[in-house]
Amino acid sequence: MIVVTGGAGFIGSAIVWGLNQKGIDNIIIVDSLKKTEKWKNLRSLKYADYIEKEDFLYFLDNDLLPSNISKIIHMGACSSTWEDDASYLTQNNYTFTKILAEYCIENSIRFVYASSAATYGMGEKGFDDDTNKLEELRPLNIYGYSKQMFDMHAKKNNYFDKIVGLKFFNVFGPNEYHKGNMTSKMYKSFYEINDTKKIQLFRSDHPDWKDGAFVRDFVYIKDVVKIVLEILDNPNVNGLFNLGTAKSRSWNDLANAMFKSMDIESNIEYIDIFDHLKGKYQYFTEANMNSLKNAGINIEFSSLEDSIDDYVKNYLIPNKYLGD
């Protein structure tokens, strides 16, 4: 039995889809649906049971979980970089992860959890996933720090020879539709282009960067799923790893790829950076993927253009989810 927390969310539901593609449906999905549209991600998935997060914690505390759980893929978290309730974030992203990790280690259950590239802050210390450098990182917001808290806890307690943490970079693709302000620029731009026939990007306020030329490591959800499933198939792979493409691309590249995929002439408008982002805006992110490659995990990443083309033509235009 495999447990996927956050299994109705973006990355979690995509992982369940990937497991289904391999003929695996002995899956327990854990999430907190509340008044969200996440339930739509579940409609085409095959799974054995759904458990609300609070019930799952009760079952765990009272030893009521099935005895045949072999893997827990922990994607459940508050992923909003705009959330400012530090207690809420630390409870969801640190305490819950700590409880699950300890349970898995005590019961010899494979544990894979979501960390984040937000732990790197401005990137002034680089984007190297070497755990010896964890103490040097300075996240820019409480979301990033709540992820950093568990990474540090895992290092302090020597967990990384038993578990896997994944520092996700800028993941995009189908099933992110419920995320509101936290949806990718690809998703937002699709509707922006439909409505206005243009894309707005931030004007640079840094002398070393031209408008729209700052870069991100954009990684397609289908590539993320492939890597996660390969890690699950290799129980000797443990540690804290970046998960990006190791090839950064500019926002201008993203915009032009969107226009091309939608067969509309490029039209980019540059606007001033939002006040709440000033001093906190990353001009460069790029995953160092050597650790994962050295561990024997290596796949071919789709290009930004091919990924956007698949997302737009096979999911956004027909309004489909993974598995539809």
List the catalytic residues: 143, 179
What domains can be seen in the chain, in order of their start residue? Answer: 2-172+217-244+287-301 (3.40.50.720)
- Return the beta strands (E) in the chain as ranges: 2-5, 27-31, 49-52, 71-74, 110-116, 164-168, 170-172, 199-202, 215-216, 218-220, 239-243, 249-250, 268-271
Q: What is the reported pTM?
A: 0.95
Q: Tell me the torsion sign for CA atoms 152, 156, 157, 158.
A: positive
Each of the 324 residues of the chain gets a pLDDT tens digit; together they read: 999 999 999 999 999 999 999 999 999 999 999 989 999 999 999 999 999 999 999 999 999 999 999 999 999 876 666 667 788 778 888 999 999 999 999 999 999 999 999 999 989 899 999 999 999 999 988 889 999 999 999 999 999 999 999 999 999 999 999 999 889 999 999 999 999 999 999 998 888 889 999 999 999 999 999 999 999 999 999 999 999 999 999 999 999 999 999 999 999 999 998 887 777 778 899 999 999 999 999 878 999 999 999 999 999 999 999 999
